[in-house]
Amino acid sequence: MSDMNTKPQESAWTGPVKLDYEQYATDSTWSSNAITYTFTEGEGDVGVPNPQLEQLLFANSGHAGDALSALELEVSVEGPNKVAPVRNFDDAGLHPVVRENLRLSGYNTPTAVQGYCIPAVLQGHDVMAVAPTGSGKTAAYLVPIASKLMGKVAKIGGPKVDTTAPDYNPALHRVRAEPLVVIVCPTRELAQQIFDMSRKFCYRSKLRPVCTYGGVPVLENIKQLEKGCDILIATPGRLCDLMDRPHVLSLNRVKFTVIDEADEMLDSGWETALTKIMAGGDTNEDADHVFMMFSATFPKEARSLARQYMASDYTRIRVGRAGSAHKNVKQVINYVEEDLKKQAVHDLLYSMEPGLTIIFCNAVRGVENLDDFLFNGGLPTTFMHSNRTQHERDDAMRAFVSGKSPILITTAVAARGIDIRNVATVINFDLPSVDHGGIDEYVHRCGRTGRIGWQGTAISFFNDRNVDLGPRLVNLLLETDQEVPDFLQQYKPESGIAEFHDDTDEDEPAEAGDAGAAWGGPTADGDEDAGNAWGAPAAAADDENKPRSRAVVNAEHWLSVLHGHLSCSELAAGPGGDGIRSVEVDVVLAAKEWLANLRSHLNTANRKGRKYSDGSPFPRFQMLVVVVRNNLIPLSPAAALPGSLHFRHRSNVQQLSLPQETIAYT
């Protein structure tokens, strides 16, 4: 063990820097208010350069590391649509401004997930993509979306305020935000990061990104939205809050909804928020609304949950196994008894070469205790967790990224998505338990290093408290050719080879597009041309002979549940018609949950106008009238418009005059 009196400088660490709490009282700048490009003049869709902003946005853009081959895993593409991957940004048919912004960002060659997602999105497909940490998933959706919209934003975008006009007055010149894109992710720091990338890719365009998340006063968000918004990046809670303010935000123009870290978002804790975001409020439910989901881990249960939100012909793109780690992260597992962990991490830090290091603890108190211990031991630490104020979180991130405090101690709040290029080491002071994040969280945490072709190390402390994670951990080590220490040998599968059982989607429709191409290997044979897709009309959806959508199946299921329990009568047009169904409810309260589920499934089914496999159209439940005998059911669409009997009629809102005891449900 090292001497606690060793000076950090002797080990080449900088000294600890105290937090300046004074600054929080005076400094009211929020990262979500960062400056974006304002289109004032230019030719067509291309604005004039702004050298100062260009310097600000692109100065720290880096290039991919040399070890990109570790991310060249086998790619599987499933779904009825063929996707011909692009291997060069020049061949992707991108809008010239986006292409130039990629160059300014230092992106030379598309990664595998980008190579497949860019054409799939340009062709207008719903996409579910799983690819390793740090392999460029953000650009995989942002680039094609920005490219597709850039030429059209003046025509189809929502209102915007000219904030450069000499008479601009924020109190007077305000509009309702009507974004074309909504991107949802689980944490504030990740939202900021996606916002920063959007600022880059939208540079010199008319697309205006806005970022909203909790922790920042909602008024600050509203001020940004009131200037107009084309791309809205949000955490789910704040988005739901803003959706309840229809004078501030309307989702009726949305063409793309992206769920980043989708498996986390599909987790039960987010279910209500996600249902509201996907099909609630005034969300555009037309067929031109594309849904996308991305993550590095996507367990089978989450994949099947996700399908209810996707069109039946969605494209599934998988780079490597869903949930796999990659070889650019060296994984080391050390056995350390619980009560020795603090001293062990102290000694480890003094023994290793200084560099940006993230240390994960499982609990808020653990983070604070360890920060105290290491800070008092002379190490330059900072810390982050969900109980800190947003200013404190912003400050901790800035201190870490700038190298002022190169050791960040954090909970899982920084486990996913956070992209800081030079993180050399991740330390799992506590390993995630199987019940809280488990092996998937381990993969995300380790993935904070070794990003985009760079290499890094993840060191984890293992002891008797972590035995539940043992077998999965060993499988992961085996899969990436890492050393399995003696104390983990007992968890090795008999075959000695990694065994995973959830990589197939057996209950998914068995249509297959291109499958099993190795990225970097021969080009998959595809006859679709992604070239010149920007600005061009999306290919007309070929509804005939499409397999039956999961959403239709689900909707039928929920209808049968209703029919089984309630006395139902069909009022209008029979199967295949644009029907109005009436359900006379005997058991009112019991029906509430079924109805909520039914509504969500119907919305998804109708969104794409899907048909049955025999070609007959799925009845459009433009309205489901629930006649309630004794009681009113507090259904969410009604709650969104309190006290009213309005209902949505696909694209317009109609008023229905119903007797008191009747409620309209769509």
The one among 47, 136, 281, 377 contacting ligand ATP by CB under 6 A: 136
Site string for ligand ATP, 253-292 (x = CB under 6 A): ----------------------------------------
Q: Is 133 in the site for ligand ATP (CB under 6 A)?
A: yes
State which residue, 445 or 546, has the beta carbon closest to ligand ATP.
445
Site for ligand ATP in 171-210 (CB under 6 A): none
Q: Least distance in Å: CB of 494 to ligand ATP?
A: 32
Stretch that binds ligand ATP, among 136-144, 179-187, 374-382, 637-645 (CB under 6 A): 136-144
Q: Tell me the C-alpha distance between 247 and 241, whole Å.
A: 12
Q: Is 358 in the site for ligand ATP (CB under 6 A)?
A: no
Site for ligand ATP in 404-463 (CB under 6 A): 417, 419, 421, 447, 451-452
Structure tokens at 367: 């983070």
State which residue, 64 or 231, has the beta carbon closest to ligand ATP.
64
State which residue, 153 or 322, has the beta carbon closest to ligand ATP.
322
Closest CA to 412 of 365, 460, 364, 372: 364
Closest CA to 479 of 456, 460, 495, 462: 495
Torsion region of 139: left, alpha or beta (phi above 0 gives left; psi -120 to 50 gives alpha): alpha
State which residue, 308 or 457, has the beta carbon closest to ligand ATP.
457
Q: Least distance in Å: CB of 107 to ligand ATP?
A: 4
Q: Least distance in Å: CB of 23 to ligand ATP?
A: 28
Closest CA to 243 of 637, 626, 570, 565: 637
Site string for ligand ATP, 53-72 (x = CB under 6 A): ----------xx--------
Closest CA to 95 of 156, 154, 151, 155: 151
Structure tokens at 173: 């010149």
Q: Is 134 in the site for ligand ATP (CB under 6 A)?
A: yes
Do you know the residue count of the chain? 666
Q: Least distance in Å: CB of 42 to ligand ATP?
A: 25
State which residue, 134 or 378, has the beta carbon closest to ligand ATP.
134
The one among 150, 184, 191, 296 contacting ligand ATP by CB under 6 A: 296
Q: Least distance in Å: CB of 298 to ligand ATP?
A: 11
Closest CA to 427 of 397, 449, 459: 459
Q: Tell me the C-alpha distance between 307 and 128, whole Å.
A: 9
State which residue, 243 or 296, has the beta carbon closest to ligand ATP.
296
Any idea what the Cα angle at residue 635 is, between residues 631 and 640, rounded to 5°? Answer: 130
Q: Least distance in Å: CB of 77 to ligand ATP?
A: 17
Closest CA to 361 of 337, 331, 335, 383: 383
State which residue, 342 or 416, has the beta carbon closest to ligand ATP.
416
The one among 32, 36, 138, 250 contacting ligand ATP by CB under 6 A: 138
In 353-506, the DSSP E strands lie at 356-360, 381-384, 407-410, 423-428, 456-462
- b or e along 51-88 (b: 16 or more beta carbons within 10 Å of the residue's beta carbon)? eebbeebbeeeeebbeebebbbbebbbbbbbbbbbbbe
Q: Tell me the C-alpha distance between 358 and 360, whole Å.
A: 7
Output the CA torsion sign for 316, 320, 326, 332: positive
Amino acid (1-letter code) at residue 475? N
Tell me how crowded residue 570 is: count the other CB atoms within 10 A of its CB: 15
Q: Is 321 in the site for ligand ATP (CB under 6 A)?
A: no
Helices (H), 503-580: 550-565
Q: Least distance in Å: CB of 400 to ligand ATP?
A: 16
Q: Least distance in Å: CB of 194 to ligand ATP?
A: 9
Q: Is 328 in the site for ligand ATP (CB under 6 A)?
A: no
Instruction: Tell me the CB-side half-sphere exposure of residue 624, using CA atoms within 13 A.
Output: 25
- The DSSP bridge pattern shows strands 290-295 and 256-260 to be parallel
Site string for ligand ATP, 76-115 (x = CB under 6 A): ------------------------------xxxxxx--x-
State which residue, 296 or 488, has the beta carbon closest to ligand ATP.
296
Structure tokens at 318: 């998988």
Q: Least distance in Å: CB of 136 to ligand ATP?
A: 3
State which residue, 242 or 325, has the beta carbon closest to ligand ATP.
325
Enumerate binding residues for ligand ATP (CB under 6 A): 63-64, 106-111, 114, 131, 133-139, 296, 417, 419, 421, 447, 451-452
